[in-house]
């Protein structure tokens, strides 16, 4: 904002268009960069003295294990989120069940840049994905991330009103945090 200018209006801060498109392998470096931001956000939850949330001597977090599998294995879908044609985040969808149950899709990772979080970009992107890929879904949420759980409660209820089941502690083996389970209808 320049001197003498007025702050942007609420209308100017709205996002008109949200999309989630499959990322081709050529965009893997983009996902690598966004994963660094994602890991930075998660670092606030890592306890001091643990290896989690630490960067290497070059200032980078460890690379995401298995990222290449999103372009090699069926059932894995890397998506980039855009807000008004600006890169705004990513979603990694897979078929791994946190509960060891049959499912069609699971949210492996979900990230939206802070700038877009209060503009419902994450909600809109998640709903697009749940509609595009119908079936039985699981959304496992890290037990130490209450803001994420609040977000996912709202979004899954919007995706499948009255039909979301929460397994509070996961199965205790594969996953120890809450898991939201629901089914979405036909693709759009």
**Residues 84-120: tens digit of each pLDDT:** 999 999 999 999 999 999 999 999 999 999 999 999 9
Look up residue 117 and give its two tokens.
């979080």
Mean pLDDT, the chain, as a whole number? Answer: 91
Kindly tell me the sign of the dihedral angle through the C-alpha atoms of 85, 67, 63, 146.
positive
Q: Which residue has 């130490």 as its token pair?
A: 144
pLDDT at 166 over 90: yes
Report which of residues 11 and 35 the model is more confident about: 35
What domains are there in the chain, each with its CATH number? 16-184 (3.40.630.30)
The CB density around residue 20, as the number of other CB atoms within 10 Å, is: 22
Q: Where are the beta strands (DSSP E) in 125-178?
A: 135-140, 165-167
Q: SS3 of 140, please?
A: strand
Averaged over 151-160, what is the pLDDT? 97
CB 90 within 8 A of CB 111: yes
Per-residue pLDDT, 186 = 58
pLDDT band at 141 (very low <50, low <70, confident <90, very high): very high
Q: CA nearest 83: which of 41, 112, 40?
A: 112
**Residues 72-83: tens digit of each pLDDT:** 999 999 999 999
Q: Where are the beta strands (DSSP E) in the chain?
A: 18-22, 77-83, 86-94, 105-112, 135-140, 165-167, 179-184
């Amino acid at each position: 904002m320049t001197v003498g200018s007025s702050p942007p209006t609420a209308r100017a801060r709205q996002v008109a268009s949200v999309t989630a498109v499959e990322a081709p392998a050529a965009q893997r470096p983009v996902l690598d960069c966004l994963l660094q931001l994602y890991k930075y956000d998660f670092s606030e939850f890592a306890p001091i003295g643990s290896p989690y949330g630490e960067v290497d001597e070059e200032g980078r977090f460890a690379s995401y294990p298995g990222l290449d599998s999103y372009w090699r294995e069926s059932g894995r879908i890397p998506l980039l989120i855009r807000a008004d044609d600006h890169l705004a985040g990513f979603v990694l969808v897979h078929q791994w069940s946190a509960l060891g149950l049959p499912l069609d899709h699971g949210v492996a990772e979900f990230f939206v840049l802070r700038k877009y979080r209060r503009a419902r970009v994450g909600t809109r992107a998640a709903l697009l994905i749940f509609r595009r890929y119908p079936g039985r879904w699981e959304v496992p949420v890290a037990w130490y991330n209450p803001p994420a759980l609040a977000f996912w409660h709202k979004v899954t209820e919007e995706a499948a009103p009255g039909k979301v089941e929460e397994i509070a502690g996961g199965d205790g083996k594969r996953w120890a945090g809450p898991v939201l389970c629901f089914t979405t209808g036909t693709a759009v």
